[in-house]
Amino acid sequence: MSETTILPSYLVDRWQTGSGDGAPVLDAVTGEEVTRVSTEGLDLAAAVGHAREVGGPALRELGFTARAELVKALAGALAERKQELYDLSARAGCTRADAKVDVDGGFGTAMVFAGLGRKGLPEGNLLVEDEEIPLGRGGTFAGRHVLTPLRGVALQINAFNFPVWGMLEKLAPALIAGVPTIVKPATQTVYVAEHAVRIMLEAGVLPDGALQLVSGSVPGVFDLLGGQDMVGFTGSAGTAAKLRSDPAVTRRSVRFNAEADSLNSSVLGPDAAPGTPEFDLFVGALVTEMTVKAGQKCTAIRRAFVPSGRLDEVTDAVSARLAEVVVGAPGADGVTMGALVGRDQRDDVRAQVERIRSQADLVFGDPTSVEVVGADAERGAFLSPILLRSTDRSARAPHEVEAFGPVSTLLPYDGVGDLVEQVARGEGSLAGSVVSADADFVRDAVVGMAPLHGRILVLDRDCAGESTGHGTPMPQLVHGGPGRAGGGEEEGGLRAVRHHLQRTAVQGGPGLAEALAR
Ligand code: NAP
């Protein structure tokens, strides 16, 4: 294998290629090799040093609002060249609609952050957080909190399913905050992220050292991090647990934010009988969440709770809609669901489905075979949508096993108390939804479910037209979740910028903070 097929990394302001044969990255649809990755011989210590010594000072020279302008320019560059990213996303199994969720979602999110930063942040590098707090009777001594950019580097480790959005939702707030960034995309879709980085660099607006990219693994990088650095991680709970226990985090207090996996719930209200708009909204949302990105979304509905008397009606309605799904090559005639990211991922999903099936019935789909349009079903990572149903109240698997694909389980409930007890078995989720027009039920369900979720959508006939949907995190709102979901928080408007700033209580004479901000 010649070295030219290795996907480059962008370190210390130049494209560099790791040595050796590297590891192959395969096309999700054809199984052919797309590229190879290797970071052998790359100097990650130099990259971290470059970010701290060159990127940080250059970004801080600009101030908050100028940096927000810069992020706007990056988003604009990506928007202009989105077609290139759609084309590459197809190799990762994404239909055009899937690619838009990632690509348009990515630059759209960056655009929103840029707008919030331009309007809501001051020009310099000091943000005064609150009103002056008097600390003396005579009025000559007071305190206040100020926020300033960390002087280190943000290492952003992303999951395979959103190579563009997952990067931008972290990168935009970090750059606006003034923290230089090293992006480490997941290997399976690194070629999409690499191209997005290339587009952003070619926009020519970033100062040296502000953005670096590692295409491949990052051995030893945590040893290089210290108390002014932060890690933004998205991926599985297992990897999160491993990284969280690194001495960089436990001893040197590197800030560590995790967005991990999640058994997200959607709830059909007792009022939503067949024939009501809410019943149709619930069924439609479930099918959408199962099939967009072939269900490879951290926010996808894995558990669909239904009043026990409605289980058969919902099973029939969802199955009928799933029967209309056409699985196949992105772009092929009529295809509405693409491939999983790779055959390993498909094997993993099949194994997880078997675990859930040990405590649930399969009511739609065949995990072992699927009819495929425009591609070879075995070469590509194709899988049928799989609907399961569990009526065994002691079953744990549907609440604990994440099958990261087009897989969901229907579960019956009897009353809000039972519902919340079952939802809690997921041990913390990113997103939940309650589909109901019954205000009393909605209140009890949302109050009960809120401590277990980072975000809850209440969907009814009145808001459905403008609703952004169960699975879509909004840059203005918090994304993250307690417990198993990682216990982290991203997005949430300017909160995301503040996560990259140090809060300092300053004490002194009245007007001190204003004087510092000048
Ligand atoms: P993963 O296997 O945990 O990998 C996530 C990232 O961590 C990848 O970039 C991976 O790089 C990297 N990584 C693995 N070991 C590492 C180490 N020792 N040091 C530094 N980096 C390391 O997860 P995935 O398979 O990509 O993503 C699927 C999972 O992510 C699902 O469970 C899903 O629920 C979750 N997810 C969560 C969110 C959210 O916002 N909460 C969003 C999307 C996905 P390599 O690829 O090079 O190994």
* Res 113 pLDDT > 90: yes
| Model confidence at 1: pLDDT above 50 | no
Contact 294, 340 (CB under 8 A): yes
- Ligand 1 pocket test, pick from 160, 194, 214, 348 with the greatest ligand atom count within 8 Å of Cβ, gives 160
Q: In 224-291, which ranges are E strands? A: 230-234, 255-259, 264-268
Alpha-carbon distance values, 80 to 129, 203, 425, 443 (Å): 36, 11, 44, 44
Quote the mean pLDDT of the chain: 96
The pair phi, psi for residue 35, each rounded to 5°, is -165, -175
pLDDT > 80? residue 517: no
Ligand 1 centre distance from Cα of residue 105 (Å): 19
Q: Which of 385, 383, 382 is nearest to 30 (CA)?
A: 382
Rg of the chain taking only CA atoms, in angstroms: 24
Distance (angstroms) between ligand 1 centre and the Cα of 197 equals: 19
Residue 4 confidence class, pLDDT cut points 50, 70, 90? very low
Question: Could you tell me the pLDDT band of residue 82, with boundaries at 50, 70 and 90?
Answer: very high
Annotated catalytic residue, options 259, 489, 490, 491: 259
DSSP letter for 474, please: -
Measured in angstroms, how far is the CA atom of residue 36 from the centroid of ligand 1? 18
What's the rounded mean pLDDT across residues 208-232?
97
Instruction: Note the pLDDT of residue 137.
Output: 93
CA-nearest of 285, 308, 335, 303 to 457 is 285
| β-pair partners for 103 | none
Cα 240 to ligand 1 centre (Å): 8
Q: Give the position, in ligand 1's atom list, of the atom nearest the Cα of 188.
A: 46
Q: Phi-psi category of 498—alpha, beta or left, where left has phi over 0 and alpha has psi -120 to 50?
A: alpha
pLDDT at res. 514:
77
- In this prediction, residue 513 has a pLDDT band, given cuts at 50, 70 and 90, of confident
Given the residues 169, 298, 489, 491, the one annotated as active site: 298
Residue 478 has pLDDT above 90, yes or no: yes
Q: Is 463 a catalytic residue?
A: no
Work out the pLDDT band at 2, boundaries 50, 70, 90: very low
Whether 112 shows a pLDDT value over 70: the answer reads yes
Catalytic residue status for 259: yes
For the chain, percent of residues with pLDDT exceeding 70: 99
Residue recorded with tokens 């069924």:
283
User: What band does 477 get if pLDDT is binned at 50, 70 and 90?
Assistant: very high
222 alpha carbon to ligand 1 midpoint, in Å?
16
Helix axes 415-424, 439-449, angle to 10 degrees: 30
Give residue ranges with CB within 6 A of ligand 1: 157-162, 184, 186-187, 217-218, 234-236, 239, 243, 259-261, 298, 402, 404, 430, 486
| Greatest Cα-to-Cα distance within the chain, rounded to the nearest angstrom | 80
pLDDT score of 388 more than 50: yes
pLDDT at 65 > cutoff 80: yes
Which pLDDT score, from 0 to 100, does residue 515 have? 83
Q: Smallest Cα–Cα separation from 256: which of 277, 280, 235?
A: 235
Mean pLDDT of 118-122: 96
Please report the pLDDT score of residue 196 as a whole number.
Answer: 98
Structure tokens at 67: 């940096």
Under the banding of pLDDT at 50, 70 and 90, the label for residue 394 is: very high
